[in-house]
Amino acid sequence: MVTSGGKLDELQKRVLAALASVRPPFILGGGGALAGVHLAHRKTRDLDLFWRDQTQLGDLPGVIEARLTDQGLTVSSLQRSPLFVQLRVADASSVVVIDLIAEPASSLEPPWLCRIGPAEILVDTPHAILTEKLCALLERSELRDLVDVEALVRSGEDLSAAVADARAGTAVFRGSHWPGFSAIGT
């Protein structure tokens, strides 16, 4: 089991600890996983919590809001749909945005069990995050995604394998939306 906390701030660690026992368990992904466990190469403003193989979040947002308010945190909803809920969570001195994401697809590979502060959390692997970041680059223009891809490749992740997995997993990357990217990784 990996033990870390990386560049997560105290509020982010507090939120993860408060939610660690939520069932079904979430998988920490994106910048939170990179900053908190894998690379600690930058700070992150949000936490991406994924529930894979789920077609909707159901009662999870309410459970999560209750757990966080029971910890003395202020919680407000920024965005809400059956597959995605964005919450603003604050204590007296800081704020974090939490994205709750139901994904009908399975994880690319099994997540790692990691200790972050006092909590044991499932965390996406570096390869899975690299693959997702490549897809994200085609769907949005966020400098942090480029920073993350560069850091992952410099840490030894295989860009060609991630491109192949991205192509297999998403129509966006296979070229139906971005024909110029069909030659990447070949």
CATH number at 63 reads 3.10.450.620
Instruction: Give the residue ranges of the chain where pLDDT is below 50.
Output: 171-186
In a domain, 81, yes or no: yes
In a domain, 152, yes or no: no
CB neighbourhood size of 10 (10 A): 12
Note whether 124 and 159 are within 8 A (CB).
Answer: no
In a domain, 169, yes or no: no
Cα diameter, the chain: 52
Q: CA 82 to CA 114: how far, in whole Å?
A: 28
For residue range 105-132, list pLDDT tens digits in order: 888 899 999 999 889 999 999 999 999 8
In a domain, 177, yes or no: no
In a domain, 140, yes or no: no
Is the full-model pTM beyond 0.75?
Answer: yes
CB neighbourhood size of 175 (10 A): 15
Q: What is the pLDDT of residue 135?
A: 85
Count of domains forming the chain: 1
Provide the domain limits for residue 59. 2-124
In a domain, 136, yes or no: no
Distances (CA, A) of 179 to 114, 155, 162, 163, 171: 38, 29, 18, 14, 11
In a domain, 63, yes or no: yes
Q: What is the pLDDT of residue 175?
A: 40
Closest CA to 37 of 102, 114, 147: 114
In a domain, 75, yes or no: yes
For residue range 31-40, list pLDDT tens digits in order: 999 998 999 8
Q: What is the DSSP letter of 155?
A: T
Q: CA 109 to CA 161: how far, in whole Å?
A: 13
